[in-house]
Structure formats: structure tokens, C-alpha cells
Amino acid sequence: MARQQQFMALWLVFAVLVYDNHGYVSNRRGKNQRPGVRSYPEDDKNVRGGVGADINVCALEQKTTINLYCYCDDSKSFAATSADCWVFNDGEPRDSAVWREFRSQSNVTKLTFNVRGTSSKTLSFVPTEALAQMPELRTLEIVYADIGTVHSHAFANLSLLQDLALVRNNIVQLARDSIAYMNDLRVVTLGDNAIESISNDVFARLPALRKLYMDRNNISYIAEGAFEQLRKLEELDLSDNRLTGSLSRYVFLGLVSVKRLDMRANHLDRVGPDAFAELVCLEELVLEDNVIKTIDGRGFSGLPSLQRLILAENRLTALDDRTFHSLDKLKFIDIRYNNLQTLTFGAVEPILERLRNTTFFFHFKG
């Protein structure tokens, strides 16, 4: 009987050891690990890589070794449709398992990443690994990251995405095909970054894109044909950049649907012949707050749909007699705060009859 009891005791000890070593149960914690807190041991390559790391990104503890927390409209796995995620402290590296675990909420349609970190490396990349797990996304926003370069195919698997906003992320460069191959994408917002140039291979296969906002950057160069594939684009905002001189008409090649072009607050000093002739549907042209001194007589030719022309706060000293010629639909002109001393009869003759119309506005001051 005593032998049987000893045998049973030894068997139980052996069973507990096996149970513990396989990770099913353990009371041991890593150094500095709190009860209930999930961590990735630095020496456990399999767990760090995501093997067996069963995480619901909408149900992370508030105090955790993972430097990310998501507020979701439903915390149950695969139930959320909206997630507002905060990346903090030192963030998560590109190879962190947590990005892959966004598969636990693969039905999310609206996702935001807000960065509140302690260094510029908190989020220095587009989390493509996380996005690849969320095929239902319609709206994506990343704010206050330090991305630097948006790499090629950063959003490759988001075939249903409609609204992409990358605001205040210190983006300097857009790589080839970085904003590309998204058939439903309608709005792209890249404002308030540090983008320096736009090459002709950034925007590709975006057949539904309607609005592109690239205001408040450092853009000083746009390649000819940079927007050539955006044939459905209706609004283009390039305001508050560093464009100089006079842009070639071929910069706007392919923009046959654009109705509004905003280029205020750049450093343009002249409007050359046929400068905007590719924009056959343009209704509003904003050139306010540049340093424009001269406008070629054919500067606004080829704009049969133009209704609003804003040239305020430039350095114009005279207007060519052909400036407003053939702008038959023009209803609003603002040339205030230039260096104009007089307007010749020839300059205003094309719009003289419309000046009697109460729906026509001609703002002229200095």
C-alpha cells in the first residue's frame, strides 16, 4: 500500500512538471511581469513571431508590455467595425507579432492609428502587416507618426479602401506605387507632411479617386504626367507648398475631370501660355498668395468651364488684353492686393457685358 502511494505521488509530480513545461499552466512569471499581463519574452522567437500568440487587439489590457491599445466599438473577436488605436512609448517594431494579430478583427471597416510616443521611432512605417489582415477596410487614418517614406505597395491588399488620410506624419518621400492599386479609393489626404516632390510613378491604378489633398508640404517639383492616371479626379489641392516659376501644362496631363485646383501660397511668379489647358473641366482656379508678376495672354486658354478665378495677393502690374478672352463662363474674378494701377479697356472688354449682371463679381483693389 505504501509503495502504491509513493508511486502515485511520483506520478503526480511528473504529470505537473510535464503540464508546466508545455506551457498549459504556470505560476512562474518573467521578471517585472505583473499578474494578468501578456508579454513577449525577448528570448522566445516563436512567440515574438506570432506562432501561438492568440491576441484580440480590441481586448488588450490597458497596462501591458505591448505599446499599443485599441478602442473598438465591439471588443469581441471579429465583431468590431471601428477601431481607434493608440501607439505609445517606443511603439512596436515592424516584426512585432501584434501587427499580425489584427486578424482577430478582420471585419473592421474604419481604422485609425494615433501616435503619442517618446521618440521618432514610435511608428516610423506604415503598418502594412496589420492592414493586410483587414480586407474590409473602407477608411484608414494615421496621425502624428514619423513615417519618412511611404514604401511601394504599402496598402496593396486594401481593395475596398475608399478614404486614406496620412496627416502630420513627417512623410518626405512617396515611393513608386506607394499610393496604387486600390480600385475603390476616392479620397487621399496627405496634408501637413514634408513631401518634397511627386514623381510620375506614385499614383497608379486608382480609377475611382475623386479628391487629392497635398497641401502644407514642401513640394518643389512635380514630374510631367505625375497625375496622368487620375482621370476621374475632381479636386486637387497643392496649396502651401514650394512650387516656383511656372508649371508646365504637362504636369496636369490626364486631369480631364478636375473641377477645382488650389495652388495658393506657393512661389509661382508667372503663368505661361496654355498653362492649364489640360484641365478642360476646370471650374475654379485658386492662385492666391503667390508672387505672380506676369500672365501670358494665353495663360488661361483652353478653360471653357472656368467660373471662378482667384489671383489676389500677387505682384501683377498689368493684365494682357487677352487674359479673360474665351472665358465665357467666368462669374467671379478676384485680383485684389496686387500692384495694378489701372485696367485697360482691352483687358476688361471680354467681361464687360457680364459686369452688368448681378451674379458676376469682379473684385479689384490696388
What pLDDT is stored for residue 119 in this prediction?
A: 74
What pLDDT is stored for residue 190 in this prediction?
A: 99
What pLDDT is stored for residue 60 in this prediction?
A: 85
3-state secondary structure 39-69: CCCCCCHHHHCCCCCCCCCCCCCCCCCCCEE
Domains of the chain: 243-366 (3.80.10.10)
pLDDT band for 346, please (50, 70, 90 cuts): confident
Q: What phi and psi, each to the nearest 5 degrees, are found at residue 327? A: -90, 70
For 285-298, how does the pLDDT look when each residue is reduced to its tens digit (9 = 90+)?
999 999 999 999 99
CA dist 271 and 205 (Å) reads 31
Percent share of the chain, pLDDT over 90: 74
* SS3 (DSSP) at 199: coil
**Residue located via cell numbers 486608382:** 206
Mean pLDDT confidence for 1-12 = 47
CA dist 361 and 36 (Å) reads 68
Triad 329, 245, 173: Cα angle to 5°: 100
Copy the grid coordinates of residue 95. 516584426
For 139-185, how does the pLDDT look when each residue is reduced to its tens digit (9 = 90+)?
999 999 999 999 999 998 899 999 999 999 999 999 999 999 999 99
What pLDDT is stored for residue 366 in this prediction?
A: 60
Mean pLDDT (the chain, rounded): 86
What pLDDT is stored for residue 62 in this prediction?
A: 55
**Residue located via cell numbers 477608411:** 139
Give pTM, 2 decimals: 0.84
Q: Name the region of 153 (left: φ>0; alpha: ψ -120 to 50; beta: rest).
A: left
CA dist 158 and 106 (Å) reads 12
Give the count of alpha carbons within 13 A of 295, CB side only: 28
Triad 227, 201, 158: Cα angle to 5°: 90
For 307-327, how does the pLDDT look when each residue is reduced to its tens digit (9 = 90+)?
999 999 999 999 999 999 989
pLDDT band for 263, please (50, 70, 90 cuts): very high
Asked if pLDDT for residue 212 goes beyond 70, the answer is yes
- In the DSSP assignment, the letter for residue 238 is -
